[in-house]
Amino acid sequence: MPRPPVSAVLITRDAERLLGPVLGALRWCEEILVVDSGSRDRTLEIAKTHGARILAHEFEGYGAQKAWAVSQAAHDWVLVVDGDEIVTEELREEIESRLERDAAGYAGFEVP
């Protein structure tokens, strides 16, 4: 069974330092959603060059901001990534493998 589509979701503000590699490591996702809360650096420019869908949302605190971002995702399976967190090739393979095998039997997975 093919794996279901995945939305990668990031909340950002002035995250240009590592954003390029972070987004590059997510190109396997069907959607990359960046929810930004007022960046003044190159964050939005970098996100655009990686094909991310960008939404502006006033920062409400980390939990609330991430929850709002997840609610805006296009797909049921959502990978929440921090703006300085690069998904390794091994993690990508594990996620895709698990979703291909087990997606129908689970509501989510936790990545330590």
Mean pLDDT of 43-63: 97
Query: Number of C-alpha atoms within 13 angstroms, CB side, residue 24?
Result: 6
Mean pLDDT of 19-40: 98
Q: Cα angle vertex 79, ends 75, 81, to 5°?
A: 135
Give the pLDDT of residue 41.
98
Query: Number of C-alpha atoms within 13 angstroms, CB side, residue 46?
Result: 21
pTM score = 0.94
